[in-house]
Amino acid sequence: MLNDTTAEGTSSEERGAGEGRNGLPSSSPLTPDPSPLLKDQLHDGDCLRLFPRVPDGSVDLIFADPPFNIGYDYDIYDDRKDAQAYLDWTLAWGREVVRVLKPDGTFWLAIGDEFAAELKVLFHRELGLSLRNWVVWYYTFGVHCTKKFTRSHAHLFYFVRDPKRFTFNDQAIRVPSARQLVYFDARANPKGRLPDDTWILRPQNVPDGFAPEGDTWYIPRVCGTFKERAGWHGCQMPEQLLGRIIRSCSNPGDLVLDPFGGSGTTLATAKKLHRHFLGFELSPDYAAAIRRRLESARPGQPLEGGPEPTVGGDANGSTGAKPRRPRAKSR
């Protein structure tokens, strides 16, 4: 089992890829290392070498933001794999994701356009996870394009192992309804509403931005001038985005795992929200920077970025948005 002794020190592992087996694993098909992993710590090394040290059915929530295989210039990892090699690699670590999830565990995957369709099929059809939502994250400060429409979104797949038994804290993520915010309707449910499957195609038609009750989530990307920007990683996720995922799909004291540590957002957010965390990172430089970020994070500390309006939950200590009375029409 995972070692319950917590520490935020250094752990180094040999880097390399393991080989998987066909079918869903009941135990790790990769070469195991008998030494236990410490919780509340980032571990250096390839996720395929570290996953075997995580026991079967021990993790409540996994968030993975792997390389998109689009030629991004990481300091160590080669982001230019042959398409089939990339899919085979994803299948290898995907089997480990399924193995270590608890029977009622949840898996979130962030991915770009290039492999979104293939990875949805891989995790849903081949690995047997149940897809709850295909969320589109719309962000500002996307990469400018000159010969096609500028991309300003990423895909977030929300999977569970068991479609009849999983954690979903609806009270933690309820948002004010239009009846509450716009019409001040006495019939409105005071508990607000859950985010739903609403697409907003033209943001310029929504002066106040994207409504948080849609499945198109409007959360700004962390760009270079933002206070939240960690500075060493170009693909930094916002803490508010991870906050919504962690609040809704885990409970305080649960274990959250991120196999691609990156900028450390998942781990820092989990720590602030009173969850145990476990992370892997291939790059020694990224790993050192993540540890510095974790050292400055404290349980109960507010998340970086502007909190979204909530009704039933707590966004950085907020008691929720209050309805606004409509302005009287001019005559």
d(CA 267, CA 62): 11
SS3 category, 60: strand
**Does 298 or 322 have the greater pLDDT score?**
298
Q: Calculate mean pLDDT across residues 219-235.
A: 48
Mean pLDDT across the chain, nearest whole number?
77
At 318, the pLDDT band (50, 70, 90 cuts) reads: very low
Planar angle of CA 231, 209, 212, nearest 5 degrees: 85
d(CA 104, CA 63): 15
- Pairing state of beta strands 153-160 and 130-138? antiparallel
- Specify whether the backbone of 247 is left (phi greater than 0), alpha (psi in -120 to 50) or beta: alpha
- Pairing state of beta strands 216-218 and 255-258? unpaired
**Does 87 or 309 have the greater pLDDT score?**
87
Question: 106 is in which domain, residue-wise?
Answer: 41-296
Per the listing, tokens 């998942």 go with: 266
- Checking if the pLDDT of 30 tops 80, the result is no
Planar angle of CA 87, 140, 266, nearest 5 degrees: 55
At 232, the pLDDT band (50, 70, 90 cuts) reads: very low
112-146 confidence digits (pLDDT tens): 899 999 999 999 999 999 999 999 887 765 566 77
Number of domains the chain is built from? 1
**Any domain includes 245:** yes
At 20, the pLDDT band (50, 70, 90 cuts) reads: very low
d(CA 162, CA 166): 7
CATH of the domain at 149: 3.40.50.150
Residue partners of 168: CB distance under 8 A and separation at least 6 = 248, 249
**Any domain includes 36:** no
At 238, the pLDDT band (50, 70, 90 cuts) reads: confident
198-218 confidence digits (pLDDT tens): 333 334 434 444 444 444 545
What separation in angstroms does the CA of 110 have from each of 61, 94, 283?
14, 13, 20
**Any domain includes 87:** yes
Percent over 70 (pLDDT), the chain: 65
**Any domain includes 145:** yes
d(CA 317, CA 85): 45
pLDDT of residue 240: 85
Give the side-chain half-sphere CA count within 13 A for 115. 23
**Any domain includes 252:** yes
**Any domain includes 126:** yes
76-101 confidence digits (pLDDT tens): 778 889 999 999 999 999 999 999 99
**Does 266 or 10 have the greater pLDDT score?**
266
**Any domain includes 210:** yes
Helix (H) or strand (E) holding 249: helix 239-249
**Any domain includes 16:** no
- Pairing state of beta strands 216-218 and 101-111? unpaired
Q: Crossing angle of helices 239-249/265-272, nearest 10°? A: 60
Q: Calculate mean pLDDT across residues 232-247.
A: 79
Helix (H) or strand (E) holding 105: strand 101-111
